Amino acid sequence: MGSLAVACGSPSGNGGGGGPKGKVGATNPFGVAEGSKVEAAIFDGGYGVDYVEYANKVIGKQVKGVAVQVKPVVDIAPELQPRFVGGNPPDLIDNSGEDQIGFLGILDQLETLDDVLEAKNYEGTKIADTLYAGVKKPGTYNGKFVALNYVMTVYGVWYSKTLFEANGWTPPKTWDEALDLGQQAKKKGKYLFVHGKEAATYYRTLLIDSAIKEGGDEVRIALEKLEKDSWSHPAIQGVLKIMETMVKEKMFVPGGSGTQFQKAQAIWSNDQKALLYPSGGWIENEMKDATKTDFQMTGVPSMTLTGKPKIPYEALRAAAGEPFIVPKQGKNPAGGKEVLRAMLSKEAAANFSRTKLAPTIVKGTVPADGYGSSALVSQSKMLEAAGQNIFNYLFVEAYGMNTDQLVPWNSFLAGDIDAKGLTSALQKISDKIREDDSIEKFEVS
């Protein structure tokens, strides 16, 4: 489980343990004291920390004088674990990055956050009713909801709306349609897909997403449980067969397995030699300096195998990230929760999307023009169309499988092994982890 295995130990001191209390009311559901300070330790990564500082602009509208003191932190665990042990952690932590603190190790030292979602936001609406489906799941450990993941990551297939409109092409909804599009691309001297060596497993994500929609949740459960023959499910094999045909018919830009992934992505986003690219919603920001002018990057859901999948075509793999936690022993845990309530206001959520070009877990905060970002607009549309049909899976990251899986995926996309060989290699990786009793297994539901 990687970082989940890190333990912090029990606090050796009493710490703050709650701090000053305010009067609980409609605009102060957690009883934070007026004029109190909230210490927030925020992971200083791709999103920076200014979006949490923005809470200072709105929080005073609800509770007078509350001030959020934001401290940027890069190495979360090395810097903050000692404070958990000492019983004096910050009031709010963005427990993110490579050095995040293992949640299981501090589980009993964290406030549960159900009451945050039950509270009303700054606009007077119950917060739970304003969020996308499934946002509690990634922050729930052993039945306790302790981490509020703030940013939504949407996975899909990306293309240039400008290029497609110029050629009269339509984004494919099924794999057969994708195969037809690949033939049309070849007539124009282009390819359907491109891949880079470090990101070959983006096609694993596309495969799994398509197979889950086609075969239903049983596909996800079997993979996550590392079951025998889980990679041989008919839905997975059906998609792999078409992928194999695409490789054989040279619909992938050649040489991808020896190309750095951002250079490969530029072949799509800047050179436009490939039509489609599977990725998460971060792709626009990642390639902003290597994208053709007026590309109009747009995302659509992963293709289904047939026209009658068990889960609708509009279904998405989407997951909330950037987990915020409120330690019990902080001096002002009520203040920590109030900062989260401020961040979940429409004003603060809209500010995040405007400045970071990424959606939060708050629905309806991205305008129709997406602040000039076609990719952000399409993410909002995909989430809206998916409704309750949003899914996620954790087994690859939880067991650290990606590095091992990159080897057969690069071989497959290069045409060196076929679908049968790829299936065998992926199954061996899953079997090895399943049969290793020294590896803690997570609960699958």
Which tens digit of pLDDT belongs to each residue from 229-253?
999 999 999 999 999 999 999 999 9
> Each residue of 373-424: pLDDT tens digit?
999 999 989 999 999 999 999 888 778 888 899 999 999 999 999 999 999 9
pLDDT digits (tens, 9 = 90+) for 97-115: 767 888 878 989 999 999 9
Q: Please tell me the number of Cα atoms within 13 Å of 206 on its side-chain side.
A: 27
Element (H, E) at 41: strand 37-43
Please give the pLDDT value at position 444. Answer: 87
Picking from 376, 193, 354, 194, the residue whose alpha carbon sits closest to that of residue 296 is 376
* Per-residue pLDDT, 20: 59
> Mean pLDDT, to the nearest integer, of 139-164?
93
Burial of 40 by CB count in 10 Å (0-12 exposed, 13-18 middle, 19+ buried)? buried
pLDDT score of 240: 98
Q: How far is CA 185 from CA 115, 167, 240, 263, in A?
A: 52, 10, 20, 21
More confident residue, 125 or 368: 125
Query: What is the distance between the alpha carbons of residues 167 and 160, in angstroms, rounded to a whole number?
Result: 11
CA distances from 258 to 348, 410, 414 (A): 43, 9, 9
| Most confident residue range from 75-79, 255-259, 284-288 | 255-259
| 421: number of Cβ within 10 Å | 14
Give the Cα separation of 325 and 313 in Å (integer): 34
Give the model's pLDDT for residue 141: 83
pLDDT confidence of residue 143: 86
The average pLDDT across 303-307 equals 97
Q: pLDDT value at position 9?
A: 44
Mean pLDDT (whole number) for 138-167: 93
Reported as type and span, the H/E element at residue 149 is strand 148-160
Burial bucket for residue 437 (CB in 10 Å: 0-12, 13-18, 19+): exposed
Query: When comparing pLDDT for 258 and 281, which is higher?
Result: 258
Structure tokens that stand for 83 in this block: 């404070």
Alpha-carbon distances, residue 79 vs 36, 93, 96 (angstroms):
24, 12, 13
Position 18 confidence tier, pLDDT thresholds 50, 70, 90: low
pLDDT given at position 104: 76
Neighbour tally for 357: CB within 10 Å:
20
430, 230 contact by CB (below 8 A): yes
Residue 175: how many other CB atoms lie within 10 Å: 22
Give yes or no for residue 16 having a pLDDT over 70. Answer: no
pLDDT average, residue stretch 133-152 = 89
Q: What is the pLDDT of residue 43?
A: 92
Strands (E) located in 203-328: 277-280, 297-300, 316-325
CA–CA separation, 271 vs 274, rounded Å? Answer: 8
Q: Give the percent of the chain with pLDDT over 90.
A: 76
- Three-class SS of residue 53? helix
- pLDDT of 2 higher than 60: no
pLDDT in tens, 313-326: 999 999 888 899 99
User: Measured between alpha carbons, how far is residue 87 from residues 9, 15, 82, 84 in Å?
Assistant: 10, 5, 9, 5
Candidates 52, 50, 99; CA nearest to 74 is: 99
Q: What is the pLDDT of residue 47?
A: 85
